[in-house]
Amino acid sequence: MDKNKEKSIGIVKTEYFNFDKLLLECGKELKNVTLAYETYGALNEKKSNAVLIMHAFSGDANAAGYHEGAAKPGWWDNMIGPGKAFDTDKYFVICSNVIGGCSGSTGPSSINAQTGKPYALDFPVITIADMVAAQKELVSHLGIKKLLSVAGGSMGGMQVLQWAVDYPEMIASAIPIATTMKHSPQQIAFNEVARQSIMGDIAWNSGNYYNAVQPERGLSVARMIGHITYMSDKSMEEKFSRNLKEKAYSFSFTSDFEVEGYLRYRGDSFVKRFDANSYLYITKAMDYFDVSGKNFVKEAKNKDAKFLVISFKSDWLYPSYQSEEITKQLKLRGYNATYIEIKSTYGHDAFLLEVEDETRMIKHFLERVQKEAANG
Amino acid sequence: MDKNKEKSIGIVKTEYFNFDKLLLECGKELKNVTLAYETYGALNEKKSNAVLIMHAFSGDANAAGYHEGAAKPGWWDNMIGPGKAFDTDKYFVICSNVIGGCSGSTGPSSINAQTGKPYALDFPVITIADMVAAQKELVSHLGIKKLLSVAGGSMGGMQVLQWAVDYPEMIASAIPIATTMKHSPQQIAFNEVARQSIMGDIAWNSGNYYNAVQPERGLSVARMIGHITYMSDKSMEEKFSRNLKEKAYSFSFTSDFEVEGYLRYRGDSFVKRFDANSYLYITKAMDYFDVSGKNFVKEAKNKDAKFLVISFKSDWLYPSYQSEEITKQLKLRGYNATYIEIKSTYGHDAFLLEVEDETRMIKHFLERVQKEAANG
């Protein structure tokens, strides 16, 4: 067993929670909803030590630990486990795949019971609030009345804010990371280009590709654009510079530079694990996300709720000024909110990579929250 | 005649210069080369007042004035004309379409005399140095031994630097704007994604689409990506914010937001005027561009050569630090180099929009250069 595995929560398994229906923001009802989820650690007797983790755009329920036979652990394994930031010796950690996704929860690639075929574009357009409403069903099903914390980066952070807006009485604290209170036109623009790339691929076929191959070229290009926005100018320079794959320019349209090879590899591997229609639905949910102004967290009855807002200096996709605005609006409404900008050259990816700083901050924050919840 | 037309150089016409062959950096020879070009103002007797303007990625020879019947003037009409930054009452201004392009100069959509068909991918991969070598033929053909100045923004700025590297004895001054001395991995990455979008469109057909329709969807997505990089987060916020096209979210995949409509419109109109293969060739030329280190401008015999380096604060595609590096390297080699960062929220597009500041700086700079050239 290697050192990483030793520190990990170990072998984990995805579970499935089914419920009858969910009324969506668009007015439609989603029936026979399944949420894929995982839990790590033990729920205490008072059911007061639960932390809900929410994943980013392409994440899934496997936040930590190894699936049987898997070479790689969950997407935030470096943050969740015994002695880690989200310490499974102390906390009961839950993570579920968002609805609209393609990793076990109900989404456009799921079978529509009414037709016996995959939903495709008959799947209703969902929002961040709908994702969170589904999570609330899961949390209640697990018998938890109040979460010690909700935490997540990027789109996970949007869900964190949505929890604070919609169910403030159900959270003792919240940790939005590398996120925004509303998708900006630039953020919408990158998503729209990705969607156009997918929908422009002839294989997309208006979303009806489930009996054939999915729009791999369009989806791959969409993912390549994503990866550029997840890194920074500087981290690309540090990782690739102008390094060539071969000794000299090819004077052709094969990939000359390492950065080109990296992007193509990332695009190619993504299409093997992600559904193109889910890409459309989840990016649309992000674009619709706007809890600014009158939609923001209300002046709380529950003024004890604590917020830890984290951003990263080189993140230009969800720049620090957006986290500063979240913090300001929380403080204006009387919340106990701490904001930290972590120095990093990793860009948006930093929320997955700057483990040491994040661990220290989150660990201390959760300990304080737990102590005060016990005293309260 | 409206006010804009009044200030303009007026009706202009594209001319064509043909020459036998050009030895390219890749080792191949391009035969029967045509350069589309325009000139404005009059060449003086000493032939000492010529300024060569070089266009950016998707530009053409029509830098100023109106083509017969055209509603819009050339791409830098606000900078070139009587009394303007490049004052046609004083200077003889030349602009030519780059080789590899699709606006009159020889490129992949031109007829290959050997086959009687468009070159398509049989067109050799060209470089910024090749573009400049072709321009040098044109300048010599016009009987000019030394240019008063070479100027251009973005890819135009790369050509400016290449002139200084390859033909230092032929320029009295140079004005590189919003550019870099080498394409960074992030800049390469954006170009590579655009190329993959084009080549992933089934209509591309390995470049052989000239007897059918070109890969419009792939080319449109490429252009949309481009437009995001040409603007800034802030200019998008100022122009579009989260404004909707209709009163409410559509809960569908039509374009809800104004920014989406803008990008789609830009993509759709681009495919009507630009050749997809030219997109591939010209972006590759930019990606190969690297005049850093030992490739940079040599310690000049001609130490009188003056440089005016301009960048824009919100330009994140060709950020200011890259212009600062150009200036530093010029000064290290003993050149008279002035650097100015113009405050702007327009992003990379600023070089086409910040006319007032650019005009003042360039006007004074050219006057000094001309005076010293006359005294020298």
Determine contact: B237 vs chain A, CB below 8 A: yes
Average pLDDT over residues A348-376: 94
Q: Which residues of B186-225 are buried (b: 16+ CB within 10 A; e: fewer)?
A: bbbbbbbbbbbbbbbbebbeebebbeeebbbbbbbbbbbb
Q: Is B196 close to A264, i.e. CB distance below 8 A?
A: yes
| Residue B59: CB atoms within 10 Å | 24
Q: Are B64 and B242 in contact (CB under 8 A)?
A: no
What pLDDT does A1 receive? 42
Distance of CA B95 to the CA centre of its chain: 10
Considering the candidates A60, A77, A287, A315, report the single residue annotated as catalytic: A315
The residue written with tokens 């459309």 in the block is A280
Tell me the shortest Cα–Cα distance from A253 to chain B, in angstroms.
8
User: Residue B122 CB: number of other CB atoms within 10 A?
Assistant: 13
Provide long-range contacts, Cβ within 8 A and 24+ apart, for A74-80.
A74/A12, A74/A38, A75/A352, A76/A352, A77/A4, A77/A8, A77/A9, A78/A355, A79/A355, A79/A358, A79/A359, A79/A362, A80/A9, A80/A40, A80/A53
Residues 6 or more apart whose Cβ sits within 8 Å of residue A329 = A181, A292, A296, A297
pLDDT for the residue B302: 62
CA dist., res. B57 & res. B52, Å (int):
16
User: Of B35, B284, B315, B340, which Cα lies nearest the Cα of B154?
Assistant: B315
pLDDT (tens digit per residue) in A107-125:
999 999 999 999 999 999 9
Using a CB-CB cut-off of 8 Å, the residues of chain A touching B124 are 251
> Residues B325-374: pLDDT tens digits?
999 999 999 899 999 999 999 999 999 999 999 999 999 999 999 998 88
Residue B63 pLDDT level (bands cut at 50, 70, 90): very high
Chain centre to alpha carbon of residue B61: 10
Confidence at residue B259, expressed as pLDDT on a 0 to 100 scale:
98
pLDDT category of residue B229 using cuts at 50, 70 and 90? very high
Helix (H, G, I), strand (E, B) or coil at B312: strand
Q: Is A187 exposed, middle or buried (0-12, 13-18, 19+ CB in 10 A)?
A: buried
Rounded Cα–Cα distance for residues A340 and A196 (Å): 36
Asked if the C-beta of A255 comes within 8 angstroms of chain B's C-beta atoms, the answer is yes
- Within 161-200 of B, beta carbons closer than 8 Å to A belong to 182-186, 188-190, 192-193, 195-197, 199-200
Name the residue among B280, B282, B126 with its Cα closest to residue B199.
B280
**Rounded mean pLDDT, B32-60:** 98
Q: Are the C-beta atoms of residues B183 and B290 closer than 8 Å to each other? A: yes
Q: Are A218 and A199 a contacting pair, CB within 8 Å?
A: yes
What DSSP line would sit under B95-120, residue for residue?
EEPPTT-SSSSS-TTSEETTTTEE-G
- Between the alpha carbon of residue B12 and those of residues A158, A361, B15, B102, the distances in Å are 54, 65, 10, 19
What tens digit of pLDDT does each residue of B133-152 get? 999 999 999 999 999 999 99
pLDDT number for residue B297:
87
CB contact under 8 A, A189 and B316: no
What's the pLDDT at A299?
A: 80
- B258 CA: distance to closest CA in chain A (Å): 9
**Disruptive mutation site among A242, A246, A255 for chain B (greatest number of B CBs within 10 Å):** A242
Quickly list DSSP for B30-59.
EEEEEEEEEEES---TTS--EEEEE--TT-
Q: Look up residue B13 and give its DSSP letter.
A: -
Query: How far, rounded to the nearest angstrom, does the alpha carbon of residue B250 sit from its chain's CA centroid?
Result: 39
Put simply, the answer to whether B185 touches A257 (Cβ < 8 Å) is: yes
Whether chain B has a CB inside 8 Å of the CB on A264: the answer is yes
Instruction: Note the pLDDT of residue A260.
Output: 98
The CA–CA distances, whole Å, from B75 to A45, B57, B95, B348 equal 71, 12, 11, 15
Q: Which residues contact A70 (CB under 8 A, 6 or more apart)?
A: none
Residue type, position B69, single letter: G
Q: Position of tokens 């969170």?
A: A132
**Cβ(A368)–Cβ(A335) below 8 Å:** no
- Local confidence band at B320 (pLDDT 50, 70, 90 cut-offs): very high
Mean pLDDT over each residue of chain A, to the nearest integer: 96
Residue B242 and residue A183: Cβ atoms within 8 Å? yes
Instruction: Pick from A204, A208, A233 the residue to mutate for testing the B interface (most B CBs within 10 Å).
Output: A233
Q: What's the ipTM?
A: 0.96
Longest Cα–Cα distance of chain A, Å, equals 69
Please give the backbone phi and psi of residue B67, each rounded to the nearest 5 degrees, phi first: -70, 150
More confident residue, A6 or B122: B122
Q: Please indicate whether residue A154 is annotated as part of the active site.
A: yes
Q: How many CA atoms lie within 13 A of A236 on its CB side?
A: 27
For the cut 80, the answer to whether the pLDDT of residue B301 exceeds it is no
pTM to 2 decimal places: 0.97
In percent, how much of chain A has pLDDT > 70?
Answer: 97
- Give the closest-approach CA distance of B31 to chain A in angstroms: 18
Q: What is the pLDDT of residue B1?
A: 41
Name every chain B residue with its beta carbon within 8 A of the beta carbon of A123: none
Amino acid letter, A332: L
**What is the arithmetic mean of pLDDT over A15-43?**
98
